[in-house]
Amino acid sequence: MKISFVIPCYRSEKTLGGVIEEIQSTMPEIGHDYEIILVNDCSPDNTFEVIRELASKNKNILGINLAKNFGQHSALMAGMRHSTGDVVVCLDDDGQTPANEVGKLLGKLEEGYDVCYASYGKKQHSGFRNFGSKVNELMTRIMLGKPKKLKVSSYFAVKRFIVDDMLRYEQSYAYVIGLVLRATKNVCNVEVNHRARTEGTSGYTLAKLISLWLNGFTAFSIKPLRIASAIGCFCAASGFIYGIYTIIKKLVLVDVQAGFSAIMSVLVFIGGMIMIMLGLIGEYIGRIYICMNSSPQYVIKEKVGNIEK
């Protein structure tokens, strides 16, 4: 069996070498052939120069340099599209995900699971990143039907037939978790250690996290539209009931004056809800337009290494 390691790289010039060394020291013990695909997501530091050097010294490393920053999930798709292994293992470039415990993930696949995600007893992320992970968990459960007990992470192993199905998706807005869950529900967790970050900070900003959540909302689920419709129905029903209440109140209490502030409050509330719903619909339409124009998931600027698909 051949294992393909796919690692999206961003600001990892100081940590990437340690990750590669760990993979190279671990795989002989496991006894499988392997390849390593490093995808530089247009990192502003010297990450690609490090990748170039690693690829020149190791015949089983392929380096891919993207033309601009497309995001982690697009980088993963680029790496998967160049993978040749029977199993693809995705992990981080900062050393927080323990490559030396990859055997635990592979063992679960050998038990019959299609995908295995690493779960962590205690994450060594910042409070902001942990909050983002919790919101992402909630979003995938509500919008994508993720099983409640399943924990998703950036460290996972997936069988070839699932990868092939994921690669059928060629639209602009890649969301790996959504692609996995639409292909199979035969997914499990295995607990591994999570290390503290030794260099740098997380590449995820608030804007990137919101963009990631929006991908999950709009690329793989129509539930947001259904929620918008339900809110619209609730507001319409509330307005109707309030109107009946106002008429009855006026008939019973003749001296009561119609309240200008109450009317304005209702108008502002309903107007705000309408704008939110129109914005949501516009987001869907905008993404349809971009996909119709064949906007790419990623653009490869350069490849280094001897591995070719």
Higher pLDDT, 248 or 49: 49
Q: What pLDDT shows up at residue 129?
A: 58
CATH of the domain at 70: 3.90.550.10
Q: Are residues 195 and 250 in the same domain?
A: no
For 217, the token pair is 């909302």
Q: How many domains does the chain have?
A: 2
Model confidence pLDDT, tens digit, residues 230-289: 777 777 777 777 777 777 776 777 666 656 556 766 776 777 778 777 777 877 777 676
Residue 269 structural domain: 223-292
- Would you place residue 92 in the very low, low, confident or very high pLDDT band (cuts 50, 70, 90)? very high
Share of the chain above pLDDT 70, in %: 78
* Shared domain check, 186 and 96: yes
The answer to whether residue 139 scores a pLDDT higher than 80 is: no
CA distances from 182 to 135, 136, 143, 185, 186 (A): 20, 17, 12, 8, 11
The verdict on residue 208 lying in a domain is no
If asked whether residues 300 and 277 sit together in one domain, one would say no
pLDDT tier at 42 (50, 70, 90 boundaries)?
A: very high
Are 230 and 97 in a shared domain?
A: no
The answer to the question of residue 168 being in a domain is: yes
In a domain, 159, yes or no: yes
Cβ neighbours around 230 below 10 Å, total: 10
Whether 213 maps to a domain, the answer reads: no
Least confident of 81-95, 158-172, 271-285: 271-285
Q: Are residues 168 and 257 in the same domain?
A: no
Residues paired with residue 297 on neighbouring β-strands, in sequence order: none
* Mean pLDDT value across residues 173-192: 90
Q: pLDDT at residue 220 above 70?
A: no
Rounded Cα–Cα distance for residues 197 and 253 (Å)? 68
Q: Would you state the structure tokens that stand for residue 114, as one six-digit string?
A: 């299609």
Helix residue spans in 10-71 (DSSP H): 16-30, 47-57
Bridge partners of 61?
36
Residue 107: pLDDT band with limits 50, 70, 90: very high
DSSP 66-95: ESS---HHHHHHHHHHT---SEEEE--SSS
- Tell me the C-alpha distance between 37 and 6, whole Å: 5
Q: Is residue 209 part of a domain?
A: no
What pTM does this model have? 0.75
Do 137 and 16 fall within a single domain?
yes
Q: Is residue 78 part of a domain?
A: yes
